[in-house]
Amino acid sequence: MFFFLRYFSCILVKKSTFIGMNSSLSALFHEAERLDNRSLDTLIANIISLRAQRETPDNQKTEAFLLKKINKSLSIGQIERFKVLNQKRLDETISAEEYAELLILLDKIEKLNVSRLKYLTSLARLRQVTVRELMKQLGISGSLNG
């Protein structure tokens, strides 16, 4: 019953007395008071279903936005350049200019990863799962421990 009341933004003061409820909501509540438990449960389930239907398009839009942000990455050209420069660094054949370019690319990657974690956190909250569980769902590997 409290779940039902939460959706109407009411505060129970004493039996059948509510603050912040307009007259039509008050009338609905008084009608609901007369229902047997089974009918009340059905009403509550229908109201929750209605609420979920109203929120679903917004949630889908939000999820799509978050997934787009999570999947954002460097361009293919930047990724290839990073691989070349990183290999030169490992081979110790990288020039000072190339090293500066590598640092710029590393900074971009770091910023993308920070942004990705922020959006992963938002999506996990929306789906009501942990970030690790969301990463598993999305097939994203990687450590969050740094």
Q: How far apart are CA 92 and CA 110, in angstroms?
A: 23
Residue 1 domain flag: no
Report whether 115 contacts 65 (CB < 8 A): no
Backbone angles phi, psi at 12, to 5 degrees: -75, 120
Helices then strands (H, E): number in the chain?
Answer: 6, 2
- 56-115 confidence digits (pLDDT tens): 677 888 999 999 999 999 999 999 999 999 999 999 999 999 999 999 999 999 999 999
Residue 129 domain flag: yes
- 41-60 confidence digits (pLDDT tens): 888 888 887 776 676 677 88
Residue 115 domain flag: yes
Residue 12 forms beta bridges with which residues? 18
Q: Taking CA 98 as the corner, what is the angle to CA 96 and CA 104, rounded to the nearest 5 degrees?
A: 105
Residue 34 domain flag: no
Overall number of domains in the chain:
1
Please tell me the number of Cα atoms within 13 Å of 76 on its side-chain side: 0
Residue 98 domain flag: yes
Residue 42 domain flag: no
What are the DSSP E strand ranges found in the chain? 11-14, 17-19
Residue 143 domain flag: no
How many CB atoms sit inside 10 A of residue 17's CB?
11
Q: How far apart are CA 55 and CA 49, in angstroms?
A: 10
Say what the pLDDT of residue 19 is. 52
**Domain hosting residue 61, numbered range:** 57-138
Say what the pLDDT of residue 11 is. 38
Report the length, in residues, of the chain.
146
Per the confidence metrics, is the pTM higher than 0.85? no
Residue 68 domain flag: yes
